[in-house]
Copies of this chain bind each other. A is one copy, B any other.
């Protein structure tokens, strides 16, 4: 991390003027598990979003996309336990109703409220539980962690971070939370992610920076290759830090960009590490690609390969599977001139087996984090992707989900 950033507490409520809270409303079958949360700013925010590209988008995604045409929002209400997807007109009405419930509580216009849902697909939201539960949410300026816990589904732990840094000599904060450890696929979008900042930012620059950061973070994570119907990533900027609004020419643009990348890549890596059933984090660096896009294709291809993910689980340095995944990825490749490293052990040199110590390669595979490096020796394209291993735990998590 750049010395210019300081890690601080309270994730999405670390920036000035953001409050959050969450409660157990009974949407989930266990009445003790929190499942309904609100995150709100004291003032309207410049707000950017990226969403799933699925053609079976859930109702709350449609609501966010509609409302963000204005580029302004002030709050989001989120439930876990039910995805409000494949729920037709009723589902869409329920999503709008959720925003209205939150707006009434917050004394703001419903048009400034967004919503998200995550959980089982194909069931209508229990609106009476949301109506009854929402007024019990006590919002406060230090409950970002509660918010991060309330949005979890099969996650084993919350994923959250906040940074403090300076722009124009003023303290600026950026916080983030994410959830999602299954139905995760790169090159599409992310799962639920909420980012808050008290920086002032111009609309267009904020949207383009968010999109670029998501491309290099959440779009580079794979747990299983399944894209979700509910993927949403929102960045709220309320301007309470008092800086002049950031744009591409601003002196502080580079600092904010670096902070945003740090936060999104940290959260992306934590999603992969907590992948359903995962015991290991895999990081794949590709360099020497034709261009960045091609390097990304190669890196993502390897994180997506079930057969290599199984080798990782078995701590088996069977790099032939990396070769197969690389070949299938569609990246440009010269069969006589690419190198593969597992950790610091070079297992392949110029397209054939390197002369390496099998015991060293096995030793690297026993680590909790395994880094694969590939040099394609074609151009200057570089990319990094994150994934995890594939275990009985994934199968178990997903064979009995709705029971």
Residues of A68-109 whose CB lies within 8 A of B: 83, 85-88, 90-91
* Interchain CB contact under 8 A, A307 and B398: yes
Mark the stretch among A193-201, A211-219, A346-354 that contacts chain B.
A346-354
CB distance from A375 to the nearest CB of B (A): 15
Query: With the chains together, A55 CA to B308 CA distance in Å?
Result: 17
Pick the residue among B52, B86, B182 that contacts A307 (CB under 8 A). Answer: B182
CB distance from A48 to the nearest CB of B (A): 23
CB distance from A139 to the nearest CB of B (A): 31
* Interchain CB contact under 8 A, B395 and A327: no
Residues of A370-400 whose CB lies within 8 A of B: 390-392, 394-395, 397-400
Which residues in B have their C-beta under 8 angstroms from that of A85? 320, 323-324
Which residues in B have their C-beta under 8 angstroms from that of A336? 88
Contact A330 to B55, CB < 8 A, known contacts A85-B320, A352-B90, A398-B306:
yes
> A330's closest neighbor in chain B, by CB?
B55
Interface flags, A226-240, vs B, CB<8A=1, else 0 = 111100000000000
Pick the residue among B227, B306, B399 that contacts A224 (CB under 8 A). Answer: B306
> A391's closest neighbor in chain B, by CB?
B395
A335 within 8 A of B: yes
Query: With the chains together, A96 CA to B182 CA distance in Å?
Result: 46
CB distance from A120 to the nearest CB of B (A): 6
A123 within 8 A of B: yes
* Interchain CB contact under 8 A, B351 and A86: yes
> A347's closest neighbor in chain B, by CB?
B122
Residues of A319-378 whose CB lies within 8 A of B: 319-321, 323-328, 330-333, 335-336, 348, 350-353
> A335's closest neighbor in chain B, by CB?
B56
Contact A54 to B327, CB < 8 A, known contacts A321-B121, A395-B313:
yes
A65 within 8 A of B: no
A402 within 8 A of B: yes
A316 within 8 A of B: yes
Contact A224 to B307, CB < 8 A, known contacts A327-B229, A330-B55:
yes
CB distance from A328 to the nearest CB of B (A): 4
CB distance from A51 to the nearest CB of B (A): 12
The listed residue with most B CB atoms (<10 A of its CB), out of A310, A333, A350, is A310
Pick the residue among B90, B352, B402 that contacts A316 (CB under 8 A). Answer: B402
Q: 26 A-B pairs, CB-CB below 8 angstroms?
A: A54-B328, A56-B323, A88-B336, A88-B352, A90-B352, A120-B318, A120-B320, A121-B321, A121-B324, A122-B320, A122-B352, A123-B353, A224-B306, A226-B305, A226-B307, A226-B328, A227-B327, A228-B324, A310-B395, A310-B401, A311-B399, A314-B399, A314-B403, A316-B401, A316-B403, A318-B402
List 19 additional A-B contacts (Cβ < 8 Å) besides A225-B305, A314-B400: A55-B330, A56-B327, A86-B320, A91-B352, A120-B318, A120-B320, A122-B320, A123-B353, A182-B307, A183-B324, A226-B328, A227-B327, A227-B328, A229-B323, A229-B324, A306-B306, A306-B394, A307-B398, A314-B398
Footprint of B on A, CB under 8 Å? 52, 54-57, 83, 85-88, 90-91, 120-123, 182-183, 185, 188, 224-229, 304-308, 310-311, 313-314, 316, 318-321, 323-328, 330-333, 335-336, 348, 350-353, 390-392, 394-395, 397-403
